[in-house]
Amino acid sequence: MPRYIRLKPGCEAFLQEVEADIKCKLEKVSWLPGFYSIPPDIQIASSKAYQEGKIYGIDASSGAAVIALNISPGDHVLDLCAAPGAKLCMILDLLGNSGSATAVDVARHRLAACRTMLQKYALGDRCRLFVADGTTFSIIPRGVYTESQSCESAMEEKEDTLSEWTSKRPWKERKKAHKANKSGAPQLISRDQHPELIFYGPHSGVAGLTKRELYGTICDNEVVSQGYDKVLVDAECTHDGSVRHIQKFEHWGWKTLQRRVLDAERTDSLSILQLKLLSNGFRLLKGGGSLIYSTCSLTVAQNEDVVEQFLRNYRL
């Protein structure tokens, strides 16, 4: 199985330099712009090109899911299960200097890794990251504006206006994060917890909004005109379609395959989660927009069945 890399747009002139750096020839993937295949034994993590953010390690199948979104300039894109962020980086590269991307993930530590990746590739300008449950996430791209406001509440809100992002968090927040880190448990947000904004870029549309505008909700009818142009639901799954993931069972022991991949209770609850994520992603989609549902599983239960059930629910 070959491995794949994606060249950062604008770095095409460095192709030969990258080849010399990782000591192999890059084979262009004809159907996937910017993608190249390399032999499986090539390690890119220690290369200069990777460390300088000229190349990304990303599977061709991940690239295919993003290409299917058909991103156009100015699109507001929602990535509902975004961490660790390989597809999000590609979305932001395709958006360039227009539109915005909103990335959501239920796992704080995974989304924090995504933030690090955005910083490495200098892609955070038009992006905002929310730790939130994608099955209930309700924040629209540009904020909810309320027309009739008393003078007093307008004053109060002015004080609540979000200024430019700073990585300096109030000590209470830092203490909480430190405590959670120390416990070693995965930091997952619950369904009814308020979304937590852990990063936003200067052109993400957040700075200047009041918290009420940012977190305000609108009715489903209004989403038709104010929702996202493109939604990616790259749902949590059993990863059985990833050869590299399945190879890890050589190390974990094949006996654990039953528990990790084939367990009926786990796959049933995953299908329910997948359907909820897909339905909520669709709820936030603008009229005429496009949604891509993807998984890295090959099971019918996590793909065709979920989509079929979704279409039945919406009578589509």
Ligand X SMILES: C[S@@+](CC[C@H](N)C(=O)[O-])C[C@H]1O[C@@H](n2cnc3c(N)ncnc32)[C@H](O)[C@@H]1O
Site residues for ligand X per CB under 6 A: 62, 81-87, 104-107, 110, 133-135, 234, 236, 273
What is the distance between the terminal CA atoms of the chain, rounded to a whole angstrom? 38
Is 105 annotated to bind ligand?
yes
Q: Closest distance between ligand X and the C-beta of residue 242, in Å?
A: 9
Distance CA 137, CA 217 (A): 10
Q: Which residue lies nearer to ligand X by CB, 127 or 273?
A: 273
* 240 annotated to a ligand binding site: no
Shortest gap between Cβ of 135 and ligand X (angstroms)? 5
Nearer to ligand X, 78 or 210 (CB): 78
Please indicate if the annotation marks 133 as binding a ligand: yes
- Report the alpha-carbon distance of residue 119 to residue 122 in Å, rounded: 5
Contact between residue 234 and residue 81 where contact means Cβ atoms under 8 Å apart: yes
* Catalytic pick among 89, 114, 237, 296: 296
Residue 279 parent element (H or E): helix 264-283
How buried is 283 (Cβ within 10 angstroms: 0-12 exposed, 13-18 middle, 19+ buried)? middle
Indicate if 296 belongs to the active site: yes
Min separation Cβ 269 and ligand X, Å: 11
Whether 76 contacts 141, CB under 8 Å: yes
Q: Among residues 213 and 234, whose Cβ is nearest to ligand X?
A: 234
Token reading at 165: 């992002």
Q: Outline where 23-141 has alpha helix (H).
A: 48-51, 60-69, 86-95, 108-120
> Which CB atom, from 77 or from 83, has the smaller least distance to ligand X?
83
> Minimum distance between the CB of residue 307 and ligand X, rounded to whole angstroms?
17
Which residues carry a binding-site annotation for S-adenosyl-L-methionine? Answer: 105, 133, 234
Catalytic residue list: 296
Which residues carry a binding-site annotation? Answer: 105, 133, 234
